[in-house]
Amino acid sequence: MPSEQTGLYTAILFSALIFLLIVFGLIFLVLTYNRRKKDHITEKQTLQKEHEADLLKTQLEVQEQTMKTIAADLHDNIGQLLSLTSITLGSITVTDKKTSRKLDDSQQLVRRSIKELRQLANLLHGEKIIETGLIDAIVYETEWLKKSGNYIVNFDNSVHEDPSPSTDKDLILFRLLQEAINNIIKHSSATAITISLAHVQGDLLLSITDNGIGFIAEEVEKNGMGLSNLLRRAKAMQGEIDIISAIGNGTTIAIKVPYP
């Protein structure tokens, strides 16, 4: 009997050990599967983000190339036609003072058109205008805006020295500024615009504030009215955009991006 009981206990113990091994083995397999599944999902998400970033970068490059082509056409073709017009007007000789004065006025208008056209071509050719840095590009944009006579424009710059330049980010930030100003001109009925620039703890902070009619930000974001370009371009730089607005209280668009 003792030997039979010993054999029974041994069999039970052996069976328990096997059972425990099976249980631990199953737990290990489940944990391994879950870990691999999680790694696979993470890898898939990473690849998706990289794909979206590459696609976004390509779209922005195509847009920039299109604007560069338009700028070249404006400068080379239309600019040349205006120059020929100016030369033609200058070659006309008249004796009548009234007619002569009108010709002079026409020449001045053509020269002014040539100058404005060149400035517009520079604004479209973003890479050219940011050659001297983002701060100078913003100043150039504000001067262009002031010429309309429709807005009081202030540029509050607390970046006294340019951080190490990042040409790609400078260009995208400049386009963000232009897009925000374009939205103000089209929708806000504003009379004053303030642009602020700061560099804080490795982030560049750009804000555009107007005193216009404002809007309900949540509804505009939901309907994608004019803000999709801003959000898309900011995303390309791993940046953030905060839109603060209320009916009758104007709008502030605050952009924060790692810089450089």
What's the whole-model pTM score?
A: 0.60
Give the residue from 236, 218, 207, 59 showing the smallest Cα distance to 227: 218
Helix axis angle, 2-73 to 167-183, nearest 10°: 70
Backbone angles phi, psi at 168, to 5 degrees: -60, -45
Q: What is the mean pLDDT of residues 34-44?
A: 75
Q: What is the pLDDT of residues 177-209, one digit of tens each?
A: 988 988 888 888 999 999 999 998 889 999 999
Q: Rounded CA gap, 16 and 59, in Å?
A: 63
User: 75 to each of 38, 101, 109, how far by Cα in Å?
Assistant: 55, 28, 17
Q: Rounded CA gap, 178 and 190, in Å?
A: 16
- The answer to whether the peptide bond before residue 258 is cis (omega within 30 degrees of 0) is no
Q: What is the mean pLDDT of residues 145-170?
A: 81
Q: What is the pLDDT of residues 75-132, one digit of tens each?
A: 566 666 666 677 676 777 777 777 777 777 777 777 777 777 666 666 666 666 777 7
Q: What is the pLDDT of residues 204-228, one digit of tens each?
A: 999 999 999 988 766 665 555 457 7
